Amino acid sequence: MNFDVLRSPVQFLEKTAVCADETWLREYEAWFQREGQEISDAVDRAGTPWLRMFDRLGTRVDEVLYPPEYWRLVKHGYRAGVVWRAFDQDSLVPSYLLLYATGFYDPGLACPYTVSLSTASPLSKYGEAEMKARFLPKMLQRDDAVWQGATWMTEIKGGSDLGAAVETAAQRDGHKWRLTGDKYFASNAGAELAVVAGRPEGAPQNVRGLSLYLVPRRAENGQLNYRIRRLKDKIATRSVPTGEIELRDSEGWLLGQEEQGIYLILEVLNLSRVANSVGSVALAQRAIADAYSFAERRTAFGRPIVEHPLLRRQFEDRLQGLRAASALAWEAVRLLDKVWQEKPPYSERYHLFRLVAHLAKYWTAEFALQAAKWAMEVYGGVGTLQEYRVERWLREAMILAIWEGTSHRQMLDGLEVMQRKKAHRLLFQHLAGKAPKAHMSEMEARVERQLALPEVEREGTLEKLFSDLASLTADTLLSERSDRV
């Protein structure tokens, strides 16, 4: 079993049956090894960026201040194609390959790329012709003038219950809309374009009353179209500015049909959830790789600690877990790539994707957190020091189970798609012949029994079943692939 392959995201993908033999991807990895990682480390050490609210003449500018090297770092990924390749090749796979490589070197940096992709996708899919002509080319530019995107749904009441929490109001103003409200956790604050959840005047006070809007940073008259109240000093993801956004009569454009907004919102979230899964595996790979490099050099009781049987076995177990998590995450990518252009009403394969995405987001985020925690233990005391990076992987991992829906949210959404769309049956059909039939039959019977329980018990006892279903799915998908690691 060759642990050296863990030191390269591209090599690991190739060894786990993910086709990553692309010149542009290898060049992207080489750039990070050559200079990107040092820039990333410096940005992380600098902490929360600054917000300049006014220029020297007192004009409101709301400019996010990073060192110049940060912008070189972030724009490099856009030039490499983290957004434009999806539309150039009509496939999300190139974007997720770049997100994986990014997550290996800078997990937080994958966030602005993800939300930019999650902005360009609904714009391309649901935007009117005039809107697309005006905005989409700016997001698909291949130079430093490229626009960034953002996805702003969450308000002060939280993000899980969007139907009750979203209070941003939208009023029609001719061909445009005017949005007023506050977004509390707004990733990539300062982006040139954002997709925003709002509620049209008179719409129901539930998820059916939500719509999705495109909101540019500047209005048609050139003035600021939204304001940044403050940037948040948070535990991780320092390479993406997170802030509170004030919408005050802000210009917006409706995406899709007004009454179908919740479906568009969930499409946006699912793009990010799959990215979260891919990024979780990349972070876990990096944590394990760094721990292994340290364990080769650290000696105790007369030999490198990696040669001690207990720690060696722990490395082998985590490598196996990494391969299974990777299989689950990339299956979510493959399924998404088949359905990402679908519009409501969705096909059965879309509902299969939804369930796999919830399983992957839930399972991989937890695996990444545990892998990062264990890597710190391998380092011992020096692992707690910021200068040696391993504590960063733990900080970064802690956000993965929260961003774009907590583990609880993934379980409940997974339960919903099994109840309403029978997605579990689609999953077992998808996995048929890839695992012992008895194991599949037993798990299918467990799911059916769970769904038949009274509501309180059905939800209250869900976690063990959902965890086991995710584990079975990951292990089954892994068994398909030849053991080349």
- Per DSSP, helices labelled H in 200-250 are none
**pLDDT band at residue 463 using 50, 70 and 90 as cut-offs:** very high
Q: What is the mean pLDDT of the segment spanning 262-273?
A: 98
Kindly state the helix (H) or strand (E) to which residue 86 belongs, with its residue range.
Answer: helix 84-88
**CA distance to 5, 170, 213, 405, per residue, from 222 (Å):** 50, 21, 19, 35
Instruction: Give the pLDDT score at 485.
Output: 46
Residue 185 φ then ψ, to 5°: -115, 90
pTM of the model: 0.96
In 3D space, the residue among 203, 213, 201, 209 whose CA is nearest the CA of residue 252 turns out to be 213
- In angstroms, the CA 3 to CA 64 distance is 40
How far is 279 from 330, CA to CA, in rounded Å? 11
Q: What is the mean pLDDT of the chain?
A: 96
Sign of CA dihedral 96, 275, 471, 347: negative
Average pLDDT over residues 142-171: 94
Whether the pLDDT of residue 482 is over 70: the answer is no
Please, which pLDDT band fits residue 483 given cuts at 50, 70 and 90?
A: very low
> For the chain, which domains are there?
3-139 (1.10.540.10), 149-259 (2.40.110.20), 262-480 (1.20.140.10)
342 exposed, middle or buried (CB, 10 Å; 0-12, 13-18, 19+)?
Answer: middle
CA 200/CA 171 separation, integer angstroms: 6
In the prediction, which pLDDT does 149 show? Answer: 98
pLDDT digits (tens, 9 = 90+) for 96-140: 999 999 999 999 999 999 999 999 999 999 999 999 999 999 999
Q: Mean pLDDT throughout 153-167?
A: 91
- Say whether pLDDT at 365 is over 70: yes
When pLDDT is averaged across residues 329-337 and rounded to a whole number, the result is: 98
Question: Which tokens is 167 given?
Answer: 């209070």
Residue that the structure tokens 């974007």 belong to: 95
- List alpha helices for 380-436, DSSP H: 390-400, 407-421, 423-431
What percent of the chain is predicted at pLDDT more than 70? 99
pLDDT of residue 47: 87
User: How much is the pLDDT for 296?
Assistant: 96
**Coil, helix or strand at residue 109:** helix
